[in-house]
Amino acid sequence: MALHNRILAGLLLGAGVGVSVNAVAGQSPWVDALVRNVTEPLGRMWLAALIMVVVPLIVSTLSLGVVGLGDLRRLGRIGLLTGGCFLTLTVLSTALGLTVMNLVQPGKSLDAATRQRLLETYGDQAKGAMGISTQSFGVELLVRIVPRNPIKAAADGDMLAIIFVALILGVALAGMSEPKREPMLKLLDSLAHVTVAIIELVMKLAPYGVFCLIVSVTARFGFGLLLSLLGYVSVVVGSLVAFQALVYPLAIKLIARRSPAEFLRQAKVVMLTAFSTSSSSATLPTTLRATQQGLGIRSEVAGFVIPLGATMNMNGTSLFEGITVLFLAQVFGVELSLGAQLVVVAMAVLTAVGTAGVPGGSLPLMMMVCAMVGVPMEGIAIVLGVDRILDMCRTVLNVTGDMVTAAIVDRLERGSRG
């Protein structure tokens, strides 16, 4: 069976088992114990095995991608095209989310008792996220892009800093003479290959890893909660689906000039991995492979766009952030003027760039956006209970957007070189 079918089987089986267990014994202590001691640790170990190779993969593919681009002018052109694409897609997705939110306004109909119950149940978790949010935002985020100690940045999983180091390494290598740079290029090339080999081993376990992750999410999930937040969840999922089903295929057809059906066929395994892991970083190896081998995009373009995109291009996350900030504003009766909503768009786009590609990575930064426009940030407790499900959905867009950008940049750059 092909890998994506096996992952799909793991996903469906996991959801089936989890939902059944939830229906029969959702609140029983044994379910909690089983999830906490068996399925969750196994799922997390599998996820960690994928994330383990992300730093060497980014450093090797991104720096080799830059070397492959050859001269600085080509790097500049591709860099501009890539940045332009990331920005356009992210602004479009956020604007779509906010427009739908203004039309539907689900926050106004959430009753006060439910609001209070949610705030009490998830208040502690929200406080946990609040601690992180104050450390990781502001000018500090910008300063940290240039690491004083690249090894520490790698150890901390500071992705923007790692990207910076990989880019500088690539630029420096591109300017060196052949004999001097050759050993380093060979080392990086070998590093890229060995990480891919590790990933192939880990992905063999994907159906089981995905099974464990999904069982853990569904077995303890409060489906009643989903009902009380149905309006909000529908707006998020509906907007994500609309963007995925309309904007990406249009961009693929009209700008990248490829068949959307073929694109979807190649992106399927990537979308499934993103959905089941909720992590752009854990999906990165699969995205890279599908872009190079499945879509046939030149390795220097894919090697540049995909690692950058896994961290910086998060269309789904930005859409989700915009909607959630507006939802909480509606719940708490905070009126957001057009100007304030534009600030939300700008901040959602910016914070999505700085978001770590891990499950729930956007929450701390989103709380800062709330605070910035006068929405109480502890209000995030209201949506925490359904976040994992929404995270699975938004991560699909985060990675699909990277593949779309790679296809567009590949096409436009070929065109501009005649």
Residue ranges in contact with ligand ASP by CB under 6 A? 278-280, 314, 317, 355, 357-362, 391, 394-395, 398
Q: Which is nearer to ligand ASP, 75 or 386 (CB)?
A: 386
Q: Under a CB-based contact definition with an 8 Å cutoff, are residues 219 and 27 in contact?
A: no
d(CA 131, CA 176): 45
Q: Which is nearer to ligand ASP, 26 or 273 (CB)?
A: 273
Q: Which is nearer to ligand ASP, 287 or 341 (CB)?
A: 287
Q: Which is nearer to ligand ASP, 300 or 362 (CB)?
A: 362
Task: Determine if residue 2 is left, alpha or beta; phi over 0 gives left, psi from -120 to 50 gives alpha, anything else beta.
Answer: beta
Q: Which is nearer to ligand ASP, 63 or 398 (CB)?
A: 398
Query: Considering the complex, what minimum distance in angstroms separates the CB of residue 162 from ligand ASP?
Result: 15
Query: Considering the complex, what minimum distance in angstroms separates the CB of residue 387 from ligand ASP?
Result: 8
Q: Under a CB-based contact definition with an 8 Å cutoff, are residues 344 and 322 in contact?
A: yes
Q: Which is nearer to ligand ASP, 53 or 64 (CB)?
A: 53
Query: Considering the complex, what minimum distance in angstroms separates the CB of residue 306 from ligand ASP?
Result: 13
Query: Considering the complex, what minimum distance in angstroms separates the CB of residue 22 from ligand ASP?
Result: 23
H helices of 298-337, in order, are: 299-312, 315-331
Q: Which is nearer to ligand ASP, 64 or 399 (CB)?
A: 399
Distance (Å) of CA 7 to CA 13, 19, 58, 204, 317:
10, 18, 24, 10, 23
Q: Which is nearer to ligand ASP, 228 or 355 (CB)?
A: 355
Query: Considering the complex, what minimum distance in angstroms separates the CB of residue 277 from ligand ASP?
Result: 8
Structure tokens at 159: 């992705």
d(CA 198, CA 83): 30
Q: Which residue has the tokens 């150890």?
A: 155
Query: Considering the complex, what minimum distance in angstroms separates the CB of residue 400 from ligand ASP?
Result: 11
d(CA 181, CA 184): 5
What are the strands, taking DSSP E only, across 146-242? none
Query: Considering the complex, what minimum distance in angstroms separates the CB of residue 234 from ligand ASP?
Result: 19
> In what helix (H) or strand (E) does residue 74 lie, and over which residues does it extend?
helix 72-104
CA 346 to chain centre: 18
Q: Which is nearer to ligand ASP, 63 or 324 (CB)?
A: 324
- For 97, the 3-state DSSP assignment is helix
Q: Under a CB-based contact definition with an 8 Å cutoff, are residues 317 and 362 in contact?
A: yes
Q: Under a CB-based contact definition with an 8 Å cutoff, are residues 323 and 380 in contact?
A: no
d(CA 70, CA 174): 6
Query: Considering the complex, what minimum distance in angstroms separates the CB of residue 111 from ligand ASP?
Result: 28
What contacts 289, CB < 8 A, 6 or more positions away?
196, 199
Query: Considering the complex, what minimum distance in angstroms separates the CB of residue 54 from ligand ASP?
Result: 11
H helices of 243-358, in order, are: 248-254, 260-277, 280-289, 299-312, 315-331, 338-354
Q: Which is nearer to ligand ASP, 362 or 400 (CB)?
A: 362
Query: Considering the complex, what minimum distance in angstroms separates the CB of residue 315 from ligand ASP?
Result: 10
3-state helix, strand, coil in the chain (%, to 5): 85, 0, 15
Task: Determine if residue 221 is left, alpha or beta; phi over 0 gives left, psi from -120 to 50 gives alpha, anything else beta.
Answer: beta
Q: Which is nearer to ligand ASP, 144 or 388 (CB)?
A: 388
Query: Considering the complex, what minimum distance in angstroms separates the CB of residue 269 from ligand ASP?
Result: 17
Distance (Å) of CA 166 to CA 105, 117, 409:
44, 47, 20
